[in-house]
Structure 1
Amino acid sequence: MRLPIFFANRYLFSKKTINAINIISAISVVGVLISTAALVIVLSFYNGLEKFILSQYSVFSPELRIEPVKGKVFSTKDPKFEELRKNPKVTSYSEVLEDKVLAEYNNHQFIAKVKGIEPKSILTHASHEMLFAGTLNVRLDSIDHAILGALVQANLQVPIQGLNNQLTLNIPDKKASPNNINPIEDIRTRKIPASAILNNQPGFDDLILVPIDFAKDLLNEYDQITAIELYGSNDNSAQLKNEIQKKLGKEYLVKNREEQNPTLYKTVRSEKWIVFFIVTIIGIIAIFNIIGSLTMLVIDKKKDIVVLKSLGANHQLIQNIFFYQGIMIALIGSTVGALLGLGFCIAQDVFGFVKTSEGSLFDAYPVDIRYSDFFIIIVTILVVSTLVSYLASRLNIREFNKINMLDSN
């Protein structure tokens, strides 16, 4: 094993002469290097974009959300829900009631989503960073108020300050009597003043946050809710999720953030891996330079091969010399490329020199370095390089032997 590696090392790092073979080998190393660095940079940039996009949606998504398996609403009169509220592992517990409503103000109309929450849990549903204007509260001086999404305010033009800032919310009464002669009696209508406007962000642009008591009165749903939104006392949400699911049974679903937005998560991640495979294919093309490098090396070292055979070297040993040289080219290129890619990503994260266009949500492209990606990249490059080196060394030595047999005849 040591002898093939010794010869491969001597051929790759020959100090006596620099000829075309050394240059071709260097080009092969550079090809692997650039491919690896490109994969590291592209995946890190996509990780940054993925993290940013998901953070925009996760800002308003609770850590855990309990929903019924069947139907849209459920009752919380079961004692296990009260036990869950008192669970020391749960830092925030809020019952939620939500539905689509027709919002009106000053002859403007908009279909919005009203979401009733417990007033004390407002900071778990929104933060001051999300606030564009107004006061982040759904109950001021014992009076119910609404917090509007940016799209709602843009369509209704509701002022935050002043006396005349009450918007009207309308929804068909699900419990209306079928004997009503007047259709207006089938519509429930309530008025509520606006206290704040949220920033323009996907996920809550069409939202109207109100106290849950107001939502129950508006929707005529006093005994049931749509969901329960929870936040845990630590980051081990998977364990808390399993614990709550086991306690509530099969009648309820306990969803984490990914399960609340499955399409979004799948789309973002699939885009990342599609780009990974595209760049990998480009990298494989660069790795095929190893074939040319080994082919030229076999031709150049023809005399050395003859000498080694005369000294008793077998076919496998000679083949391994060129095989290990291909592995060395891939190992050097991938290692240096990964380090250069890592350095570039760290520099981008610190200095942000790759800027975005004006009007973007961020000034510089975000970067998220995940070392699991490095492992995947290195393994991919080495596996492909190993296969290419093995095939190239085997085919070249076989052809060399055939030529020698013909020459001897």
Structure 2
Amino acid sequence: MNFPFYIAKRYGISLSKSTAINIITAIASLSIIISTMALFVVLSGFSGLRELSLSFTNQIDPEMKIFPKTGKNIALTPEQKSVLQNSGFFTVFSEVVEERVLFSFNNKQQVAYIKGVDSNFVQVTDIQNKLYSGQWIEPNTYQAVAGYGIADKMAMGLYDYQNDLEVFAPKPGKGNIESRDAFFQETLFPVGIYALSEDLDQKYIFTDIAVARSILNFEANQVSAIEFKLAAGTSESKATQFLNQVFNNSILVKNRAQLNEGLYKMLNTENLAVYLIFTLVIIVALFNLVGALIMMIFEKKLNLKTLYNLGVEIKSLRKIFLFQGMLITVAGCIIGLVLGFTLVFVQQQTHMVMINATIPYPTKFEAVNVLLVVFTVLCLGFVSSLIASSRVNKHLISE
């Protein structure tokens, strides 16, 4: 057995003669346990919040979406449509037409996106299952489904035969917009309200794609974008390469993360900030470990002197306290992780902490969080033990 490790293990098992050193060592161990547990619980909680936040956008965003590189529309030819259908890369795809327009209902106006969709849209996204009330639009009708935020601001009811939902889109050309003649105008019939998140509920009003084309003056083969649901096992990079070939590199291809780039950046930044803050907590906690090891070194000075006189090298004597510090760190890390797992599991099962009356605080087990906690604690514990063990030198032993 490695001699320094054997001595470190003996020192770790036996209590010190000094009550003060035992108390400081216990405090150091407790600090590592609590800080490890806190870091794991916070990272698991943030993983849950991240999943909850992204779940709202995932209900309405496709796995992949293409846009024109220039202009506002893509001319989708029958040949291209046939190639996409038979490619094997996609389970289904949906043609969409969208643009910011002005909506008017019962003398109340709201600027939002009109999004014309075909019958495949409900297969590409899960929007149909997120209806707050009413029903989804039927193909080839003037029906509309509005976001909860838009409906609330405009006091819009469903199946209201006394008030029309009017849509105004400016006609192309030059000059001042001074009358309704400067707009393409159409009347929609609200039949449903969807509810996802505060931002998304104020963004879209859905209608049939033919109606949207008429309002926005699009040709029958023109679309603003095409949304795709990837087939199982399909590589995003290969699908992207295929789409660029089909459309002669005249499109931009974005996956779900790129469609919500701002949200992903915000979540990643917050995750990094939380990790750094709690890493600082661990660093502060490990000051106790440094202090405990230094006090142990001074207490064992006579033993060290004896070992040195018996021929043990200084670097081996330093390893004794390096190993002892790592043993304390590893034990604290394991116990902290077990307690962290327990807390997260209890939260998942009992929902003891709630965001509001109906939504429990989300948590999620992720292997990357376990690896990150272990790596952080062990690395910082090693540095702390190395700093403390460096106090063992010839000058100390010769005193």
> Structure 1 counterpart of 2:274, which letter?
V
Match of 1:322, SS state, is helix
Rate the CA distance shift 1:82–1:275 in 2: closer, same or farther, 3 A: same
Deviations 1:110-167 (A, max 9, x none): 112100110343353443431111111243xx53211111122122223212433531
Residue 165 of structure 2 corresponds to residue 167 of structure 1? yes
Residue 84 of structure 1: aligned partner: 84
Q: Offset of 1:260 from its aligned partner? A: 0.5
How does the TM-score come out when normalised to structure 1?
A: 0.90
Match of 2:355, SS state, is coil
Deviates more, 1:64-73 or 1:41-50: 64-73
Match of 2:202, SS state, is coil
- Confirm or deny: 8 A CA contact 1:241 1:256 kept in the other structure: no
- Confirm or deny: 8 A CA contact 2:160 2:190 kept in the other structure: no
Residue 233 of structure 1: aligned partner: 231
Structure 2, unmatched stretches of 5+, are: none
- Confirm or deny: 8 A CA contact 2:186 2:215 kept in the other structure: yes
Question: What is the distance in 2 between the residues matched to 1:98 and 1:337?
Answer: 51
Residue 111 of structure 2 corresponds to residue 118 of structure 1? no
Rate the CA distance shift 1:230–1:100 in 2: closer, same or farther, 3 A: same
Residue 308 of structure 2 corresponds to residue 315 of structure 1? no
Question: What is the distance in 1 between the residues matched to 2:38 and 2:178?
Answer: 68
Residue 369 of structure 2 corresponds to residue 373 of structure 1? yes
- Confirm or deny: 8 A CA contact 1:131 1:199 kept in the other structure: yes
- Confirm or deny: 8 A CA contact 1:138 1:195 kept in the other structure: no
Residue 384 of structure 1: aligned partner: 380
> Structure 1 counterpart of 2:95, which letter?
E
Rate the CA distance shift 1:213–1:287 in 2: closer, same or farther, 3 A: same
Question: What is the distance in 2 between the residues matched to 1:264 and 1:16?
Answer: 53
Matching of residues 349-360 of structure 1 within 5 Å: 349-358=348-357
Question: What is the distance in 2 between the residues matched to 1:213 and 1:310?
Answer: 93
Question: What is the distance in 2 between the residues matched to 1:145 and 1:240?
Answer: 37
Which of 189, 194, 218 aligns to 2:190? It is 194
- Confirm or deny: 8 A CA contact 1:147 1:209 kept in the other structure: yes
Q: Offset of 1:102 from its aligned partner? A: 0.9
- Confirm or deny: 8 A CA contact 1:288 1:388 kept in the other structure: yes
Question: What is the distance in 2 between the residues matched to 1:317 and 1:179?
Answer: 87
- Confirm or deny: 8 A CA contact 1:327 1:386 kept in the other structure: yes
Match of 1:95, SS state, is strand
Rate the CA distance shift 1:391–1:335 in 2: closer, same or farther, 3 A: same
Question: What is the distance in 2 between the residues matched to 1:39 and 1:199?
Answer: 34
- Confirm or deny: 8 A CA contact 1:36 1:381 kept in the other structure: yes
Question: What is the distance in 2 between the residues matched to 1:173 and 1:212?
Answer: 18
- Confirm or deny: 8 A CA contact 2:109 2:154 kept in the other structure: yes
> Structure 2 counterpart of 1:210, which letter?
T
Residue 138 of structure 2 corresponds to residue 143 of structure 1? no
How does the TM-score come out when normalised to structure 2?
A: 0.92
> Structure 1 counterpart of 2:100, which letter?
K
- Confirm or deny: 8 A CA contact 1:138 1:209 kept in the other structure: no
- Confirm or deny: 8 A CA contact 2:65 2:255 kept in the other structure: yes
Residue 257 of structure 2: aligned partner: 258
> How many pairs were matched up?
396
Which of 348, 358, 364 aligns to 2:360? It is 364
Question: What is the distance in 2 between the residues matched to 1:78 and 1:387?
Answer: 65
Q: Offset of 1:319 from its aligned partner? A: 1.0
Deviates more, 1:112-121 or 1:77-86: 77-86
Matching of residues 35-184 of structure 1 within 5 Å: 35-77=35-77, 79-139=79-139, 143-174=141-172, 183-184=179-180
> Structure 1 counterpart of 2:313, which letter?
N
Deviations 1:311-347 (A, max 9, x none): 1111111111111101111111111111211121111
> Structure 1 counterpart of 2:157, which letter?
P
Deviates more, 1:340-349 or 1:230-239: 230-239
Residue 185 of structure 1: aligned partner: 181
Residue 205 of structure 2 corresponds to residue 208 of structure 1? yes
Deviates more, 1:212-221 or 1:23-32: 23-32
Question: What is the distance in 1 between the residues matched to 2:236 and 2:177?
Answer: 53
Question: What is the distance in 1 between the residues matched to 2:215 and 2:307?
Answer: 91
Structure 1, unmatched stretches of 5+, are: none
Question: What is the distance in 1 between the residues matched to 2:319 and 2:156?
Answer: 77
Residue 289 of structure 1: aligned partner: 288
Which of 386, 392, 399 aligns to 1:397? It is 392
> Structure 2 counterpart of 1:355, which letter?
M
Deviates more, 1:229-238 or 1:64-73: 229-238
Match of 2:27, SS state, is helix
Question: What is the distance in 1 between the residues matched to 2:81 and 2:283?
Answer: 56
Match of 1:132, SS state, is strand
Rate the CA distance shift 1:171–1:371 in 2: closer, same or farther, 3 A: same
Question: What is the distance in 2 between the residues matched to 1:403 and 1:92?
Answer: 75
Match of 2:361, SS state, is coil
Residue 2 of structure 1: aligned partner: 2
- Confirm or deny: 8 A CA contact 1:147 1:208 kept in the other structure: yes
- Confirm or deny: 8 A CA contact 1:98 1:215 kept in the other structure: yes
Rate the CA distance shift 1:40–1:66 in 2: closer, same or farther, 3 A: same
